[in-house]
Amino acid sequence: MTGGTPYWFQPALLETPPLSGAKVLQKDQPPPGWSFCVFWLVSVKSMRNHLSLRDHVAMGAARLVNATSRALKRGSGTVAGGQVGLLISPGLLKNLARGRQTVLVTGTNGKTTTTAMVRAGWGGEVATNDTGANMLAGHVAALVGSTSERAVLEVDEAWLADALTSIQPSVVVLLNLSRDQLDRASEVRQMAERWRTCLAGPPGASRVVVANANDPLVVYAASDAARVLWCDVPTDWQADARSCPRCTRALVRTGESWHCTCGFAKPTTLGVTLRGALMIHGQEVPLELSLPGHFNEANAAMALAALSEVGVDPVAAASRINTVRDVAGRFTLRRWHGHTLELLLAKNPSGFDALISTVQEGDKDLWIAINARVADGRDPSWLYDVPFERLRGHRVWCLGDRRLDLATRLEYGGVDFEVVSDPDLIPVSTDTTALLANYTAFSEWLERSDSC
Ligand SMILES: [Zn+2]
């Protein structure tokens, strides 16, 4: 502060030129009223030394927009505010992330759950984007919302390079890669190549990549990284990695191993193994999850591997992860018309494949709701890549906008089904029923039902 001018009105403190059309603040110019509002919105608690005035204004604007969005019920209030914040200060995310110990989690399936597990396993306050807003605007909102020195952020697969540049994480978790919304997203090998390019680092780099050694596409993506912790975790879905990512010859799979004649093979230096018992750097870690499915055990193993890299005791972290029963927007028990629904999100073939494994031993009746809106991908032809044949012996109630597409797929698969336009018409028992739904259908059922 100089000459008695409040520091927030000194143009010299604006690190970058103002946005086009923005009014430039002059030293002797009286402050506009909105400046006081913005300053009020920026809590003293959130002031970090490396943040500029411009960053603080951006943070205040992000909070204001997000609060307004939530008040108007126009969303969870994470994306719009983050976008406004980045518009005002393009370097905001980088500055918010500086000085924090951050874990990034990406992959086609399991991002949200693994992120929730890292947060729970870390303990205490951890900044995170638990609403599922997993692009840069969502990251901004998460970091604006918490002053914790620790952060775990879910990252959309296509945004990993941008997130790495801005956030400079300590650990990057690569879960898996499989086909997902191919009408608007990259083909998986293209994605693996993009990951490989952005993860390649100079020897001695401090960043650790925690990578699934049983997904050849992930191994290919991580193989140029300077430091990798390979995790041998069960990975059932193999349909997108039948050929070598390096030379395209067919991969040879033998038991729990795989290789190509070109020399590309499953890594042998495994720091984490999950084959019955979970071993992390030679230490057995008890795992008794409350969440369903063995795919969640793989998620937990990857989460604990990441936590071990930021100095958290895996056994203590596992005891905290074991208590996670509900992951917002992924697995949750709901009440609907006096009935209990086990609401499960699945949005692509590998996700459905994993969930079908969890319901095979369950009740005969199963509900599946399918939409094909923008967030789901407009093309529902992926239903033909889901191994619905494994549901023979069950009866599937087909729901959602694209219930007829689902019914047609089940007809081809020899699965007993009923199509209903109104779920009120389904005769329900007093037992719990599993309801598998893709993205927007899941959201609809969350709104339609009540928490247990
Ligand atoms: Zn090869």
Per-residue pLDDT at 375: 86
Spatial neighbors of 13 by CB under 8 A, at least 6 apart, are: 7, 52, 53, 54
Per-residue pLDDT at 130: 84
Give Cα 132 distance to the centre of its chain.
6
C-alpha of residue 227 to centroid of ligand 1, in Å: 22
> CA–CA separation, 43 vs 26, rounded Å?
24
Backbone angles phi, psi at 35, to 5 degrees: -60, -40
C-alpha of residue 200 to centroid of ligand 1, in Å: 19
C-alpha of residue 349 to centroid of ligand 1, in Å: 25
Per-residue pLDDT at 360: 59
Per-residue pLDDT at 77: 59
Per-residue pLDDT at 22: 36
C-alpha of residue 310 to centroid of ligand 1, in Å: 34
C-alpha of residue 107 to centroid of ligand 1, in Å: 22
Is the pLDDT at 40 greater than 90? The verdict is: no
Task: Say which residue the tokens 């028990």 belong to.
Answer: 333
Q: Report which secondary-structure segment, H or E, holds 201.
A: none
C-alpha of residue 248 to centroid of ligand 1, in Å: 6
> CA–CA separation, 320 vs 328, rounded Å?
17
pLDDT tens figures, 48-86: 567 889 999 999 988 888 888 777 766 655 788 898 999
Distances (CA, A) of 184 to 158, 250, 253: 11, 27, 31
pLDDT tens figures, 171-186: 999 999 998 877 666 7
User: Domain limits of the chain?
Assistant: 6-87, 93-321, 333-451
C-alpha of residue 42 to centroid of ligand 1, in Å: 54
> CA–CA separation, 192 vs 175, rounded Å?
12
Per-residue pLDDT at 51: 87
Percent of the chain with pLDDT over 90: 61
Spatial neighbors of 434 by CB under 8 A, at least 6 apart, are: 341, 342, 344, 358, 359, 362, 363, 366, 367
Spatial neighbors of 331 by CB under 8 A, at least 6 apart, are: 113, 291, 292, 342, 343, 344, 345
Per-residue pLDDT at 66: 82
Mean pLDDT of 294-314: 96
Between 342 and 24, where is the model more confident? Answer: 342
Per-residue pLDDT at 354: 87
Q: What is residue 339's three-state secondary structure? A: strand
pLDDT tens figures, 222-280: 999 999 999 999 998 888 889 999 999 999 999 889 999 999 999 999 999 999 899 99
Q: What is the CB neighbour count within 10 angstroms for residue 249?
A: 12
Q: Taking a C-beta distance cutoff of 8 angstroms, is the pair 152, 122 a contact?
A: yes
Per-residue pLDDT at 47: 47
C-alpha of residue 303 to centroid of ligand 1, in Å: 30
Assign 203 a pLDDT band (cuts: 50, 70, 90).
low
C-alpha of residue 19 to centroid of ligand 1, in Å: 50
Per-residue pLDDT at 361: 61
pTM, two decimals, is 0.82
C-alpha of residue 264 to centroid of ligand 1, in Å: 5
Is the pLDDT at 30 greater than 50? The verdict is: no
Per-residue pLDDT at 102: 97
C-alpha of residue 184 to centroid of ligand 1, in Å: 28
Is the pLDDT at 168 greater than 90? The verdict is: yes
Per-residue pLDDT at 9: 34
Q: Which CATH architecture has domain 93-321?
A: 3-Layer(aba) Sandwich (3.40)
Q: Tell the burial category of 33 from Cβ atoms under 10 Å away from its Cβ (0-12, 13-18, 19+).
A: exposed
Per-residue pLDDT at 338: 85
C-alpha of residue 177 to centroid of ligand 1, in Å: 18
C-alpha of residue 202 to centroid of ligand 1, in Å: 24
> CA–CA separation, 220 vs 188, rounded Å?
12
Is the pLDDT at 407 greater than 50? The verdict is: yes
Is the pLDDT at 318 greater than 90? The verdict is: yes
> CA–CA separation, 330 vs 120, rounded Å?
16
Least confident of 291-295, 338-342, 370-374, 430-434: 430-434
C-alpha of residue 415 to centroid of ligand 1, in Å: 38
C-alpha of residue 240 to centroid of ligand 1, in Å: 15
C-alpha of residue 214 to centroid of ligand 1, in Å: 15
Six-digit token pair at 253?
Answer: 């799979």
Six-digit token pair at 27?
Answer: 């030293």
C-alpha of residue 299 to centroid of ligand 1, in Å: 27
pLDDT tens figures, 207-225: 999 999 999 999 999 999 9
C-alpha of residue 211 to centroid of ligand 1, in Å: 19
Mean pLDDT of 150-162: 95
Task: Please give the span between the terminal C-alpha atoms of the chain, in angstroms, as a whole number.
Answer: 54
Mean pLDDT of 123-127: 95
Question: What average pLDDT does the structure give for the chain?
Answer: 85
C-alpha of residue 263 to centroid of ligand 1, in Å: 6
C-alpha of residue 383 to centroid of ligand 1, in Å: 30
Is the pLDDT at 19 greater than 50? The verdict is: no
Q: Report the CATH number of the 333-451 domain.
A: 3.90.190
Q: Report which secondary-structure segment, H or E, holds 359.
A: helix 349-359
Task: Say which residue the tokens 């090998």 belong to.
Answer: 189
Spatial neighbors of 244 by CB under 8 A, at least 6 apart, are: 216, 250, 251, 260, 262, 264
